[in-house]
Amino acid sequence: MFRWFRSALPPYQTPLAMLGAKAGQQVVFLDAADPGLAAEVARITGLNGRTLVAVRDTEARRTVESAAAEAGALVELTDAGHATEREATSAYDLAVITADWIELRSDQRRKLVDEAFRVARPGGRIVLVLSAGKPAWPVRARPVPRERADEARSMLTGAGCRAVRVLGEVPGTTYVEGVKPRTTADT
């Protein structure tokens, strides 16, 4: 039968492409702002990898557990307050921050970036998923303010990242990436 309408793209196709997680990698989400994305990344990293999500409260924990069960993925959970303090320095291939960047105070944003830098392995990537928030229907998604993306880039650079860049922008979301230097001579 001829199809008149093109089927919709999977909802996490763009974020997964921007994060670039691979099978067997160690990935940490420093918040649970997008539990579905964490679950989809866990499907990619598989049983040979690890996906750790730091959650702030029991509601966030239930949401992540539900998303992981729906995706059929294994996600490890830990409390956000003590999450990465127990985690080894330089242990993760990819550190992801999906927190509502616009709603956080500057010191909270800095703390997240510094913690992501600490737990990323040398040569590891830190990706900030900057969201402009949910638009009021039927208005299209608002763009992320340019100054927020610029601030994210400068925070990654200030933490010690190199190769800091905006990976891409889609309506309502901007992806910013930084790479932790392999050696201190790379900084």
Spell 141-161 as b/e; 16+ CB within 10 A means b.
Answer: eeebeeebbebbbebbeebbb
What pLDDT score does 131 carry?
A: 84
* Class at the top of the CATH hierarchy for domain 13-186: alpha beta
Given this model, what pLDDT does residue 170 score? Answer: 87
Instruction: Name the residue ranges covered by the structural domains of the chain.
Output: 13-186
Q: Greatest CA span in the chain, whole angstroms?
A: 61
Angstrom distance (rounded) from CA 25 to CA 10: 22
Q: Where are the beta strands (DSSP E) in the chain?
A: 26-29, 50-55, 76-79, 92-97, 120-131, 162-170, 173-179
Which residues in the chain show pLDDT less than 70?
Answer: 1-10, 81-87, 133-141, 184-187
How far is Cα 126 from Cα 120, in angstroms, rounded to an integer? 7
pLDDT for res 128: 95
